[in-house]
Structure 1
Amino acid sequence: MTLLLTTAAPKVVLITGASSGIGEATARRLAAAGHHLVLGARRTDRLAVLAKEIETDTETDTGTNTGVAFPHVLDVTDPDSMRSFVSAAHDRYGRIDVLVNNAGVMPLARLDALKVDEWDRMIDVNLRGVLHGIAAVLPVMRAQGAGHIVNIASVSGLRVDPTAAVYSATKHAVRALSEGLRQESRELRVTVISPGLTRSELTETISDQDTKDAVAGQMGIAIPAAAIGEAIHYAISQPTDVDVNEIVVRPTAQG
């Protein structure tokens, strides 16, 4: 089935890391806007529950329950898994309008803790995962002559703090490759979303207890993941000749 896209038509939106946090909130917001979603994550049980809820309980912007969500297993660190995810979406709908590269991990710790395996995991998920997504959708979007890639970075991509050196490095890299992709593209739109303190499961990936406790002490001012979903909705809802390149969303109280 090929969806013919007009200005008001639903878009086919792929979301990585869709089983919780920003990915889940974005899925719910875009379902409410009437878009067709393909949800990717490793936790397929949670994806299935989310997809069912979207298709049965979504109150859309037009007031009708017409959410459409298709769950698909995805490991962003595996290029073959990413290609399978994209192919399944394209086979189902005949086009791919938006990719939201959201999957990420944040095991913060001081460098002298020497958590090398965690460094590698952040590079694999936060950076290589984004590259794998771009590599998988770019040929499809080039062939269509249109598309939109939304990369989730972080305010840590704008600054560097103690315990966040490697995490910040991956998010600085996401912003850099997004800008490079934007400059190379005249038919594609590229958006970077940089969240500040946001309520999600990212903090659960922190294994260093002192760091985890310190981050937990800051989460009282954190904004809901829905705020980031709203920013993504804004970016993809603009006219096709308007490219919202970067949005930074912080709690008002965050320094």
Structure 2
Amino acid sequence: MHNAVAVVTGAGSGIGRATAHSLARRGARVVVTDIDRDRAGTVAGELGERGVAAVCDVTSLDDLRAVRDLALDRFGRVDVVMNNVGILAVGPVEDIPLDAWQRVIDVNLLGIVRSNLVFLPLLLDQGSGHVVNTASTAGLLPYGFGQMPYTATKHAVVGLSESLALYLRPRGIGVSCLCPAGVATNILEQVTFYGETSPPQGPDTPVLDPTTVGELVADGITDNRFLILTAPEIDDELRERGADVDAYLSRLIKEVMQTRSTGSD
């Protein structure tokens, strides 16, 4: 990691900020990008000479190209790209309008597609590097029916990342997919609510500090690990789901029905 150059989107707070710090502590130089100029500048300032800030909206190819050019001008190369931006639309699926779906897909999924178009040619030309895509446990398990646009895009990010691993790893480029469970971030700032919302479903997992997750990401890059989880409980869920998906869904459906029945008493 020493003297590697990392680009982290959504690095002005939360997991992105924590990962930027973890990478810098290990000797990397970090291009801290965020749609919020002040937040990006603050985090880059925290990293000192190892950080540089850039405003980046991942729905803009021009913004991503500008980040690439800044990294090359300032540090001469790009070694790690972390695609970390995500937004949510929350509510019953029948109440979430099409434009909300389009916005979530544009940011959460097509933001990574744009990043690939901008940064993968560099990594392929040098035959080395690492890509980290932030998905979610909502991209591995079916609990997120109260936030279906987010859930759909995060499942897509997992599938995209798996296929990227098959494509890129034989070419010397690592791929990791971060699937966090509970993490204390400010993601609620990126949530739009529609209709009546239901309480979140899912395994009972601890809420981690972003610093812990940032270290997990840095370790995952160093170890060239594909799936980066933040809660061991998710492993058990994945095994159960993999063993018999119909039985697994039947169990979850019963639990949802019991919850609704209890709530209506």
Does TM-score exceed 0.5, indicating one fold? yes
Deviation, structure 1 residue 120: 1.4
Partner of 1:114: 96
Kindly report the root-mean-square deviation, in angstroms, between the aligned alpha carbons of the 2 structures.
2.4
Deviation, structure 1 residue 165: 1.8
Are 1:103 and 1:126, in contact at CA under 8 Å, matched by a contact in 2? yes
CA distance in 2, matches of 1:53, 1:134: 28
CA distance in 1, matches of 2:10, 2:22: 15
> Matched residue of 2:138: which SS?
helix
Partner of 1:249: 230
**AA aligned opposite 1:192:** C
**AA aligned opposite 1:118:** A
Identity of counterpart residues, as a percentage? Answer: 33
> Matched residue of 2:182: which SS?
coil
CA distance in 2, matches of 1:193, 1:245: 8
Deviation, structure 1 residue 171: 0.6
1:38-64 CA-partner distances (Å, limit 9, x unpaired): 011111111111111221xxxxxxxxx
2:11 matches 1:18: yes
Are 1:153 and 1:171, in contact at CA under 8 Å, matched by a contact in 2? yes
Partner of 2:43: 50
Are 1:122 and 1:166, in contact at CA under 8 Å, matched by a contact in 2? yes
2:53 matches 1:71: yes
> Matched residue of 1:214: which SS?
coil
Partner of 1:154: 136
Deviation, structure 1 residue 134: 1.2
1:187-223 CA-partner distances (Å, limit 9, x unpaired): 1111101000111111232332753x835xx999421
1:57-116 CA-partner distances (Å, limit 9, x unpaired): xxxxxxxxxx51000111101111111111211222121110011011122221111333
CA distance in 1, matches of 2:179, 2:6: 19
**AA aligned opposite 1:125:** V
Are 2:90 and 2:147, in contact at CA under 8 Å, matched by a contact in 1? yes
Task: Provide closer, same or farther for how the CA distance between residues 36 and 197 of structure 1 changes in structure 2, counting only shifts above 3 A.
Answer: same
Partner of 2:241: none
Superposition pairs for residues 140-151 of structure 1, below 5 Å? Answer: 140-151=122-133
User: As a proportion of its length, which structure holds more helix?
Assistant: 2
Task: Provide closer, same or farther for how the CA distance between residues 79 and 219 of structure 1 changes in structure 2, counting only shifts above 3 A.
Answer: farther
Superposition pairs for residues 1-255 of structure 1, below 5 Å? Answer: 9-55=2-48, 68-161=50-143, 162-185=145-168, 186=170, 187-208=172-193, 210-211=196-197, 214-215=199-200, 221-238=206-223, 243-250=224-231
The gaps in structure 1 that reach 5 residues or longer are 1-7, 56-66
CA distance in 2, matches of 1:96, 1:105: 26
CA distance in 2, matches of 1:108, 1:230: 29
Are 1:106 and 1:206, in contact at CA under 8 Å, matched by a contact in 2? yes
> Matched residue of 2:2: which SS?
coil
CA distance in 2, matches of 1:219, 1:46: 31
Partner of 2:261: none
**AA aligned opposite 1:236:** I
**AA aligned opposite 1:78:** S
Are 1:223 and 1:250, in contact at CA under 8 Å, matched by a contact in 2? no
**AA aligned opposite 1:52:** G
TM normalised by structure 1 equals 0.83
CA distance in 2, matches of 1:168, 1:180: 19
> Matched residue of 2:82: which SS?
strand
